[in-house]
Amino acid sequence: MRPHAEEFQQGGGKLVVVGNGWPAMAKSWARHVGFPQAVEVLTDPSRKAYDLAGFKRSRLLTLLNPRSVARWVRALLRGFRQGRTAGDAWQQGGALVVLPSGEVSYRYVSLGPGDHPGPAALLEALGKARRISALR
Amino acid sequence: MELGDVVVKDTDGRDVRLAEVWREKPAVVVFVRHYG
């Protein structure tokens, strides 16, 4: 996602990344990833936003999803090693596109590690959101 | 409670109400599983 971060601003929106650890974890992670200034990094230690957004929290989804295992093996083969986990290991993520009115125009609920929409899908959803906003 | 009413934290520990995040323009909000 990081190489595409500025495209969201150029597309008339903004990219916000929310995690679920403590602020110090978020700060350290954001520095490690090297997000540009345009990206807002926030954290939701209570995971209240995750719950309200409909994102799942499950050990089964995390551990036993065959797609998760396949993605993990592929990542390992490419030389990726996950660092120490900071945050809630069982919490699944997802993505939303939210209009200024608060209406959610796009929602993607992740079903396991590695299950997330690509930048192209998110940029397309942002374009639709801009068009909806312009009509109102 | 609505999603916009949730108060989260920025990386310096300051409170941020989510509705403020998308108040001016549409926001793509990616929720990560965890850091690391």
C-alpha to C-alpha distance for A50 and B32, rounded to whole angstroms: 10
Q: Is A111's Cβ below 8 Å from some Cβ in B?
A: no
pLDDT in tens, A55-77: 977 766 655 555 655 665 566 56
pTM for the complete prediction? 0.81
| Residue with the larger pLDDT of the pair A82 and B33 | B33
Q: CA separation (Å) from A121 to A79, A86, A92, A129?
A: 26, 27, 19, 12
Identify the closest residue of chain B to A56 by CA–CA distance.
B33
What distance in Å separates residue B18's CA from the closest CA in chain A? 9
Cβ neighbours of residue A45 under 8 Å, at least 6 residues apart?
Answer: A20, A21, A22, B9
Q: Is B15's Cβ below 8 Å from some Cβ in A?
A: no
Positions in chain A whose pLDDT score sits under 50: none
* ipTM score: 0.95
CB contact under 8 A, A49 and B10: no
For A98-131, letters b (16+ CB in 10 Å) and e give bbeeeebbbebebbbbbbbbebeebbebbeebbe
Q: If you count them, how many residues does chain B have?
A: 36
Cβ-Cβ contacts under 8 Å between A and B: the total is: 159
Nearest CB neighbour to B10, from listed A42, A53, A129:
A42
Q: Is A30's Cβ below 8 Å from some Cβ in B?
A: yes
Q: If you count them, how many residues does chain A have?
A: 136
